[in-house]
Amino acid sequence: MVSTRLYRDGVLVEKDFSVALISELITEKKVTIWADFVSPTKGDLAAIEEELGLHELAVEDAVHEYQRPKLDHYDSHLFLAAYSVDLDKTTGVLIGNEIKAFITPHALVTVHSPEFDMSLVTRRWDNDGDLAKHGVTFLLWGLLDTIVDGHFEAVQALDSEIELLEDALFDDVPRSAEVQKRSFELRKSLVLLRRIVLPMREVVNTLLRRDLEVVEPQMLPYFQDVYDHVLRATEWTESLRDLVTTILETNLTIQGNRMNLIMKKVTSWAAIIAVPTAITGFFGQNVPFPGFGAMSGLIASIVLMVGVSGLLYWGFKRRDWL
C-alpha cells in the first residue's frame, strides 16, 4: 500500500498519485512530496529508490526490522529510524512499532508496519497546514511530534499504573504476589521504553544543529519543543525505573516483616500452650503429690494453668508480640 501527497507553495494540491510521477513532479519549484509505504519489500522500494537516488544501505535498513533509533547521513538524503509505542494497560506490555523515513530536500518517504496509525500524522499536518510552506521540514516535524507525543503518553500511562501498584503495596489485604508480578511487567516495559526514548534525544538534537541546515530557521522552535518533550520523557522514564525498583525492594521488606510478625505470634502462642501441657504432664505423673486424688488438686492445676497462661499473654501483648 502506497499513499502520496503533493504540496505546492504550502498548499495540499493532490493525493494518492503514482510513485512513478515523483521524479517529474519533484523538479517543479516550491513542491514538496510525501510517499508512504506499508510493510514494503526491497523490490517495492526499487522505484522510489531510483526516483530519489536513495542509498542502497538506507533502503536495506528500511525493510529490515529491529533497527536502533537513529539518524544516518548520506550524500543526497537522511535516513531516520524511530519507534512509536503503545501500552497495554491490562498486561502492562509495551508494544513498539518501527517507523523509517527518507528525508530529501523536497520529499519525505515513510516506511512502517500496518500497526502504526499514520492517520495521526496526517491529521497533525492538516491541523497545522499553515506551516506547510516550510516543506519537508514541516512534514518531518509532524512525524516526530506525533511519535514523541506517543512516548510521552506511554510514560504517563506507566506512571499511573505504578501509582496503582503503590496503593496495592500497602493494601490491608496482602497482595505480594500480584505486586511482584506487576512490578516485573512494568519494569520490563520501562526498559523497552528507555531503549526507544533515549536514542531519540540524539536524533532530535542532531536535527537541531544549525551547521547541518536540516531544519529551516522558522521551524527551529517547533523542533525545540519536540526536543523538550524527548528530554522530559527520558528523565521521567529513568525516575520510574528507580521507583519500580524501590517498590520491588519494599515489597520484599514488607514480606519479611510480615513473616517475622507471624513467627513472633506463633512462638508466643506456642509458649502459652506449653504451660498447660507442662502442668497437666506434671499432675499426670503416677506418684502421690499434694492434692493427689482430691478435688483441691484439680482446682489448683486449673488455676495454675489459667494464671500462668494469662500472665504470659499479658506479657507478650505488652511487648507487642501478639
Rounded to whole angstroms, the Cα distance separating 289 from 308 reads 20
- Average per-residue pLDDT in the chain? 87
Report, as an integer, the average pLDDT of 21-28. Answer: 86
Model pLDDT, residue 118? 94
pLDDT score of 138? 95
User: pLDDT at position 276, please?
Assistant: 76
pLDDT for 262: 77
Copy the grid coordinates of residue 296. 483441691
Q: What is the pLDDT of residues 144-158, one digit of tens each?
A: 999 999 999 999 999
What are the DSSP calls for 17-44, one per residue? --GGGHHHHTTSTTEEEEEEEES--TTT
Mean pLDDT, rounded, for 19-23: 86
Residue 1 has pLDDT above 60, yes or no: yes
Amino acid 100: pLDDT: 96
Q: Cα–Cα distance between 247 and 143 in angstroms, integer?
A: 36
Listed by start position, the domains of the chain span 2-255, 264-318
Distance CA 122, CA 117 (A): 10
Tell me the mean pLDDT in the region 298-316: 80
Grid look-up 496482602 returns 174
- Render pLDDT for 183-214 as a digit per residue (tens, 0 to 9): 888 989 999 999 999 999 999 999 998 877 88
Query: At a CB cut-off of 8 Å and minimum separation 6, what does 138 contact?
Result: 32, 125, 128, 131, 132, 219
pTM to 2 decimal places: 0.80
182 has a pLDDT exceeding 80: yes
Mean pLDDT confidence for 16-42: 90
Q: 163-174 pLDDT, tens per residue?
A: 888 888 877 777
Cβ atoms of 86 and 63 within 8 Å: the answer is no
Please say if the pLDDT value at position 52 is more than 80.
yes
Amino acid at the residue 48 = I
Sign of CA dihedral 281, 287, 290, 293: positive
The band of 88, judged by pLDDT with boundaries at 50, 70 and 90, is confident
Q: Are the CB atoms for 112 and 126 separated by under 8 Å?
A: no
pLDDT band at 19 (very low <50, low <70, confident <90, very high): confident
Residue 294 pLDDT more than 80?
A: no
Window from 74-88, 203-217, 219-233 with minimum mean pLDDT: 203-217
State in words which class domain 2-255 has: alpha beta
